Structure formats: C-alpha cells, structure tokens
C-alpha cells in the first residue's frame, strides 16, 4: 500500500513565478491537508480539502490556492512567488470527516526554493 | 486558539541515556495531543497520540508520553536512546475540538545523539 506521495521532490523557481505541487493521498483516504514548513520551524497549516471543496484555511494569502480532484488527489498552487515562500511543503491525508479523530498521514514533502 | 510550546530547541543526549522532550499546550477542552518525528529529508511520522483515558501513552520505537492536565504538559520520553533516534520532534494539537481538521505544531526540538 503506497502511502502519501508528492511530486516533485524538489523545485527551484524565481520570484514572481507560479508553481504547482501535487499530492496523492494514501489509499482509502479522501481528505487532504497542506502544510508549509519553513527552515527550522514547525509545519504551518495552509488549507484542507474534502469532497473537492476547501473546508478549512490557515492564515495564508490568496496567492495560495488549491484543488482536489474526484480521485482525491490534490494540487497546491502558489502565484507571484516571494523569497519567503521557500519551504518544505507537506501534504497529509486522512480518512473522512466523521465524528472520531482521523489520523493524518504525511508525505515526504516538496522542497521549494525561490531565488 | 489552541497552541503548543516546545521550550527546548536543541537537546543532545548520549546513546543509551534516557530522554525527555517537553511540550506544553493551551487548549480549552480535553485535548487530543500528538508527537511526530521528522528525520532529515523525510516527512512526519506519528509516534503516539493521546485522545482520552489512560494518561500514559505508548507509541512506536519505544517512546511514551504522559498527559498531565495540572501542568498542561505532554512530555515525550524514552528510557534508552539509540543513535537512530536523532531527528526533529514535534508536538501537535488539533485546531478545533473535533480533532478532524488542521494540526497546530510546536516549533520542534532537534535531538542529537552522541556515541
């Protein structure tokens, strides 16, 4: 059983460009969350997708947007890149929005460098 | 808002020595609490979780954590550290009482293991 997969592994962009990161959830999972982890920091929640809708959003500007596809995979898009967007972007998947807590499983991340 | 604080940025222990990593939380109700580990270049792996009930929680890799409501703490312990335990450790709490949504992470504690 493949866990959470993310692509690409590494990415280098220049300021002002746009980037798209991709995530495939663990088999059986339908909820995808994205986190940004700057160097030396803990992950910061960006947003969460369930049933192809954004269900919760952290304190990130509108330059950060996302999408979830019918197969539950997800994309994170960042427009007008800034140097401060350089970070490890983590995707996490979980199973549903039921009453009990659903553990989030994390992918290995995409390392984005903005020059 | 729910939050966690990890007071120790960096800890060094000798292989075979005991370990305790500190985590303090701020949460309105009985919290869900988590400890994650991140090895270099890797995503996050869940070590253990506390939902309710027994305040001493056993996790993977020989780790345990104790929930102390009176001290608002959830410290991670291991009786004998192995060189492979060198990594970054994060304490986390869900953003709401449902536990279904975003996780809020501490800033992490980097563990170095001396031979």
Q: What is the pLDDT at residue A98? A: 62
pLDDT of residue B97: 60
pLDDT recorded at residue A32: 94
User: In terms of Cα–Cα distance, which of B40, B22, B30, B41 is closest to B90?
Assistant: B22
Determine the Cα angle at B113 with ends B109 and B115, to 5°. 170
What is the predicted pLDDT for the residue at B98?
56
- CB contact under 8 Å between B107 and A109, yes or no, is no
| Partner residue facing A90 (CB), from B43, B98, B108 | B43
User: pLDDT over 70 for what percent of chain A?
Assistant: 94
Q: Which residue has the tokens 């709490």?
A: B93
Mean pLDDT across chain A? 93
Each residue's pLDDT tens digit, B15-35: 999 999 999 998 767 678 999
- CA nearest to A39 within chain B: B107
Q: Of A25, A43, A97, which to mutate for an interface test with B (greatest number of B Cβ within 10 Å)?
A: A43
Phi then psi for A83, rounded to 5 degrees?
Answer: -55, -35
Which one of B42, B92, B99 has the shortest CB-CB distance to A101? B99
Beta carbons of B101 and A55 less than 8 Å apart: yes
* Closest residue on chain A to B31 (Cα): A101
- In degrees and rounded to multiples of 5, residue B62 shows phi and psi of 80, 10
pLDDT of residue A101: 65
Q: Which residues of A touch B92 (CB under 8 A)?
A: 42
Q: State chain B's maximal CA–CA distance in angstroms.
A: 43
Residues of chain B contacting residue A48, judged by C-beta atoms under 8 Å apart: 101-102
Tell me the average pLDDT across B90-106: 80
Query: Which residue is it, tokens 């890149």?
Result: A81
For chain B, say whether A103 makes contact (Cβ under 8 Å).
Answer: yes
pLDDT at residue B23, rounded to an integer: 97
């Amino acid at each position: 059983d493949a866990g959470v997969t993310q692509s690409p592994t590494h990415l280098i962009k220049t300021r002002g460009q746009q980037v798209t990161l991709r995530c495939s959830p663990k088999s059986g999972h339908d909820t995808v969350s994205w986190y940004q982890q700057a160097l030396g920091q803990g992950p910061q929640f960006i947003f969460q997708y369930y049933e192809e809708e954004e269900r919760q959003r952290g304190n990130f500007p509108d330059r950060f947007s996302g999408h979830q596809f019918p197969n539950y995979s997800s994309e994170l898009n960042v427009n007008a890149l800034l140097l401060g967007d350089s970070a490890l972007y983590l995707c996490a998947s979980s199973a549903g929005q039921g009453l009990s807590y659903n553990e989030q499983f994390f992918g290995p991340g995409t390392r984005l460098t903005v020059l | 808002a729910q939050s966690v604080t990890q007071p120790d940025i960096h800890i060094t222990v000798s292989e075979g020595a005991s370990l305790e990593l500190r985590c303090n939380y701020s949460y309105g109700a009985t919290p869900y609490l988590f400890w994650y580990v991140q090895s270099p270049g890797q995503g996050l792996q869940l070590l253990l979780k506390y939902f309710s009930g027994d305040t001493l929680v056993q996790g993977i890799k020989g780790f345990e954590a104790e929930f102390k409501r009176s001290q608002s703490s959830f410290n991670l312990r291991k009786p004998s550290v192995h060189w492979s335990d060198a990594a970054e450790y994060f304490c986390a709490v869900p953003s709401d009482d449902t536990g279904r949504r975003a996780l809020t992470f501490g800033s992490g504690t980097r563990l170095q293991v001396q031979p």
